[in-house]
Amino acid sequence: MNKATRKTIIAGNWKMNKTPAEATELITAIAPLVKDADCEVIACVPYVDLYPALEAAKGTNIQIGAENCHWAKSGAFTAEISADMLASMGLKYVIIGHSERRQYFGETDKTVRDRVRAALDAGLTVILCVGEYLEQREQDVTAEVVRMQTKIALMGVSAEEMSRIVIAYEPVWAIGTGLTATAEQADEVCGIIRECIAELYTNEVAEATTIQYGGSMNDANADELLSKVNVDGGLIGGASLVAEKFAAIVKAASK
């Protein structure tokens, strides 16, 4: 197991927060605090914030990503945004399969897979979210759940394309609840996902894949979570909306 074979990535997921003007303000506040980061720094922002965030991030080491994309190239899908539209703005990253999409917007493993395909075809790098509900953890089926989500989402993804897949393990019970998985729980499940990738591809591909933890990660617990061998970064919700907190997590990942 060698952490040095893969990139550490700290990504913010702003969810449905921040107006365009506030996005400019937040990126401008984060930029000087993370300029010396020894990891990748990403802010995934609402669609209307993409342009101002990109402008504010120009000349900095902050990359901007989106929070979702549609699976079709174009067509009669009112209010949806295609992967090509995102790529054409100069974006590199898109989150796919977040549990809030699965919980509230009818996202299924199949639609996740279709969106992953569209994003890869557009040249984007995907942050693919997987994770179990509390009941599933209590029934001891966490491994089965994350393995199934991972396998279905990656159907048809080539070993070569895996260099543009980042996986975020986000236990649903830890999102926005203040309940964090212990570092041991996070490491265990990130390890299960890595094993699954090794089975689907090769050990080399598994060792090169960045697997993040997400779920109430903050400036106080980031150090311990990120010290684990299978935890290669974080996908941060609440704490990514406060420049100092987000920067502290980036700092912990840069050690």
Active site residues: 98, 170
Residues 162, 189, 236, 248: which binds ligand 13P (CB under 6 A)?
A: 236
Total chain residues near ligand 13P (CB under 6 A): 14
Q: Residue 119: name the closest of 98, 100, 96 by CA.
A: 96
On whether the CB atoms of residues 131 and 212 are closer than 8 A, the answer is: no
Position 171 contacts ligand 13P (CB under 6 A)? no
The residue type of 136 is: Q
**Residue 179 per-residue DSSP state:** P
Show the site string, 183-222: x = touches ligand 13P by CB under 6 A, - = not: -------------------------------xxxx-----
On whether the CB atoms of residues 26 and 242 are closer than 8 A, the answer is: no
Show the site string, 87-126: x = touches ligand 13P by CB under 6 A, - = not: -----------x----------------------------
Q: What's the rounded Cα separation, in Å, for the pair 110 and 214?
A: 22
Residues 13, 24, 125, 136: which binds ligand 13P (CB under 6 A)?
A: 13
* Cβ-based nearer residue to ligand 13P, 239 or 247: 239
Chain residue whose CB lies nearest ligand 13P? 237
Q: Any residues with CB less than 8 A from the CB of 20 and at least 6 apart, and which?
A: 48, 49, 51, 52
**Residue 2 per-residue DSSP state:** -
Task: Give the residues lining the site for ligand 13P (CB under 6 A).
Answer: 13, 98, 170, 175-176, 214-217, 235-239
